[in-house]
Amino acid sequence: MTYTPITDTERLLSLDEPLQLLTPDGRRRHDPQLDEWADDLDATALRGLYRDMAIARRVDAEGVALQRQGQLGLWAPAQGQEAVQIGTARACRRDDFLFPSYRELGVLLVRGAAPADTVLTWRGEVPSTFDPYALDVAPPQIIIGAQSLHAVGYAMGIQRDETDQVAVAYFGDGATSQGDVNEAMVFASSFASPVVFVCSNNQWAISEPVTVQAKHPIAGRAPGFGIPSLRVDGNDVIACTAAMRWALDHARSGEGPAFLEAVTYRMGPHTTSDDPTRYRSADDVEQWRARDPLTRLEAHLRSMDAFDDAFTAAVDADALAYTTEMRAAAIGAVTKPALALLDDVYATPHTGLAEQRAHFAAYLDGFADESASSEEVAG
Amino acid sequence: MTQLTMGKALGAGLRRAMADDDRVLLMGEDIGRLGGVFRITDGLLDEFGGKRVIDTPLAESGIVGTAVGLAFRGFRPVVEIQFDGFVYPAFDQIVCQVAKLHYRTRGRVKMPITIRIPWAGGVGAAEHHSESPEAYFVHTAGLRVVAVSNPQDAYTMLRQAIASDDPVVFFEPKRLYHSKGEVDLDAHLADAPPMGVARVVREGSDVTLLTYGAQVGVALDAATAAEDEGVSIEVIDLRSLSPVDYRTVTASVRKTGRVVVTHEAAREAGVAAELITSVTEKCFHYLEAAPVRVTGHDIPYPPAKLEKHHLPDLDRILDAVDRVLGRPNSLSEVVL
């Protein structure tokens, strides 16, 4: 619950600042606030988290490769952010409802998104893939920060239904400049709604460093709204899990919203259309590579004698199975017929669109006649 | 039948919708204890409690954005935007989220949100309190847009909007809030004309006059005045701006051959432009004259003392009627 304001802006990017349970070289640290939330994370649990992160990284790499090969129109790489995505999503109860941004690949994977779900929208085949009510995940949001309000509204619904679920809003450091995120915190605080805000501070909003969005640590804003917050090492999956458990427990117990700032780093470009060499140095990236969430957990597991070839082979096999299906789904995607683009605009018939549909269908029918007659000629 | 003002009819419609479906809830600024700045929600907080009548923080994007989240969970939020000119902060949530989520989720997530907007001018209000932003929403796929002109429609169409599985932007003319009319409070929704159907409010044979909202009354006055000069005007209250009921509209135009459209909103790329284009496409060979628009000027909404020169009045409508009839009018000598 306690938060010590950090006023030294020079320390904003300091890695030592955020709460940490696992050092970059894989040593387990203790933290009086977080320890109780990580007590049960034994080797089996940690291997599970490692597996999820490793698969997320492989799926992400496959997405980038598919884009480079022309199979996807775009991809938003999540490399480097696996710990916050997997740790926080794994900490949730299955019936907690999650509102991710477009970069929360790991969140989708934790909730059981199918391989095709990860590629068909980036390929431009469909506006979204999975059924939100099947995964209890909203379609990934592209409008920056808009989903934070949806999460709060959902949480207001939870209050009215008197269940003990929690809604989770995921967004990045750039989103914290948006009015919607700030309005979301006002609504959540005023109504004491069961929502957790997870800000993945990956240091970059495309080319703008976080210092353009925030002169003080982002976690420091939440208390001003009356929302308790924690600033955690976002590359430390144990800390992310523990902090999220604290936040969820706070929200679930009727205490109102909680806020996490997970300090991490976007190792790749903003999207496959971006060129980060124009705005950041390779040295910066290399510094963060040394704090990689997977290598530090691997080191920790090795120190526990819980990491061996059999384990990595099993993880590799799972990742390969998933990415193989993913690739097949992308390459084998069948683009819908033209008329389908008019589907699902309205839930009930709209006479104006119905007329447009009829006219477009008549137009398309003209081509059908043409191709039929040309086939006859060819035959 | 009961005599009610439009304001009271809207309140009765909300009360009925809330009684019929416990997933309906109201959100907005000052709608609870105060009953809304126009008192439309008067008494509903006491009747249904704070869980269903929510005084929200003063943030329009927040109101609509949280309504989206409630709709995700199966609620039917009815949002009150306090004044027309205050809807713009919510524009992003309305256009990018409310309007698109059904399409984005391929029909899996419904957005049965009603966005009530006290609307338009003629009430001597301060800046930003008299706007007619309807064209923005008509232009946005995924929304239904309606505008009411009388207490009975206010009561019935509000219930229909709330019952709709699509989002509805619901325009309430402020200057009619105190106008009275007969309302059948017991009518079954199934017996009422659908929300998307226009109504011929006065039959005529020479000119079709298309309008909606508070302009319906002005149009009827114009038709009465024209009758004295032997001109028969058919007045159509469109009621729904998305979709437009072109069946009713074209049937009238094919009969009269002449069209005038009037609305308070500015002219450029406005609703009248779309109506006239569609009518021309559908009825070109029936037209005896070029259709004419009578609209607000293409200006920011003017100060209250000048608004009477902005709002299309009876005389400006009759001048346009003269034009489509080829009679002397203010532009007779002007090359357009």
CB proximity B58 to A under 8 Å: no
- As for the ipTM of the complex, it is 0.97
- Are A229 and A363 part of one and the same domain? no
Q: What is the pLDDT of residue A8?
A: 44
Q: What is the pLDDT of residue B336?
A: 78
Report how far residue B279's alpha carbon sits from residue B324's, in angstroms, rounded to the nearest whole number. Answer: 15
Quick one: tokens of B307? 């608004």
Q: What is the number of domains present in chain A?
A: 2
Q: What is the pLDDT of residue A368?
A: 75
Q: pTM of the full predicted structure?
A: 0.96
- Are A285 and A324 part of one and the same domain? yes
- Are A199 and A247 part of one and the same domain? yes
- Are A54 and A102 part of one and the same domain? yes
Give me the CATH number covering residue A203: 3.40.50.970
Q: What is the pLDDT of residue A369?
A: 66
- Are A233 and A104 part of one and the same domain? yes
Report how far residue B95's alpha carbon sits from residue B172's, in angstroms, rounded to the nearest whole number. Answer: 20
Specify if A3 maps to a domain. Answer: no
Q: Which residues of B are catalytic?
A: 129
- Are A258 and A204 part of one and the same domain? yes
Specify if A148 maps to a domain. Answer: yes
Specify if A55 maps to a domain. Answer: yes
Task: Tell me if B142 and A345 make a contact (CB, 8 A cut-off).
Answer: yes
- Structural domains in chain B, CATH included, are 7-191 (3.40.50.970), 199-324 (3.40.50.920)
Give me the percent of chain B exceeding a pLDDT of 70. 100
Full pLDDT tens readout for chain A, 379 residues: 444 444 444 444 443 479 999 999 999 999 999 999 999 999 999 999 999 999 999 999 999 999 999 999 999 999 999 999 999 999 999 999 999 999 999 999 999 999 999 999 999 999 999 999 999 999 999 999 999 999 999 999 999 999 999 999 999 999 999 999 999 999 999 999 999 999 999 999 999 999 999 999 999 999 999 999 999 999 999 999 999 999 999 999 999 999 999 999 999 999 999 999 999 999 999 999 999 999 999 999 999 999 999 999 999 999 999 999 999 999 999 999 999 999 999 999 999 999 999 999 999 999 876 665 555 554 4
Check A279, A302, A346, A359 and give the catalytic one. Answer: A279
- Are A93 and A194 part of one and the same domain? yes
Specify if A1 maps to a domain. Answer: no
* pLDDT-flagged residues of chain B (< 50): none
Specify if A111 maps to a domain. Answer: yes
DSSP track, A15-34: SSSSB-SB-TTS-B---TTT
Specify if A89 maps to a domain. Answer: yes
Quick one: tokens of A151? 């999460």
Choose the mutation target among B23, B73, B160, B195 for the interface with A, i.e. most A CBs under 10 Å: B73
Q: Which residue of A has its CA nearest to B275?
A: A352
pLDDT tens digits, one per residue of B29-71: 999 999 999 999 999 999 999 999 999 999 999 999 999 999 9
CB B17 within 8 A of CB B43: no
CB proximity B245 to A under 8 Å: yes
- Which residues on chain A are in Cβ contact (under 8 Å) with B106? 126-128, 343-344
DSSP track, A110-123: HTT--HHHHHTTTT
Specify if A158 maps to a domain. Answer: yes
Specify if A282 maps to a domain. Answer: yes
- Are A187 and A312 part of one and the same domain? yes
- Which residues on chain A are in Cβ contact (under 8 Å) with B61? 149, 179-180, 183
- Are A152 and A109 part of one and the same domain? yes
Task: Tell me if B243 and A351 make a contact (CB, 8 A cut-off).
Answer: yes
Taking the CA atoms of B107, B108, B109 and B114 in sequence, report the sign of the dihedral they define. Answer: positive
- Are A109 and A258 part of one and the same domain? yes
- Which residues on chain B are in Cβ contact (under 8 Å) with A186? 57, 59, 62
* Gap from B319 CA to chain A (nearest CA, Å): 31
- Are A82 and A193 part of one and the same domain? yes
Write the residue in A158, A190, A344 that is nearest to B103 by C-beta: A344
Amino acid letter for position A70: G
| B243 cis-preceded (ω within 30 degrees of 0) | yes
Report how far residue B195's alpha carbon sits from residue B160's, in angstroms, rounded to the nearest whole number. Answer: 7
- Please report, to the nearest 10 degrees, the dihedral formed by the alpha carbons of residues A248, A249, A254, A259 taken in order: -40
- Which residues on chain A are in Cβ contact (under 8 Å) with B96? 143, 146
pLDDT tens digits, one per residue of B188-212: 999 999 999 999 999 999 999 999 9
* Gap from A154 CA to chain B (nearest CA, Å): 4
- For residue A347, what are the domain limits? 338-378
- Which residues on chain A are in Cβ contact (under 8 Å) with B52? 160
- Are A291 and A373 part of one and the same domain? no
Report how far residue B26's alpha carbon sits from residue B10's, in angstroms, rounded to the nearest whole number. Answer: 13
Choose the mutation target among A131, A160, A353 for the interface with B, i.e. most B CBs under 10 Å: A160
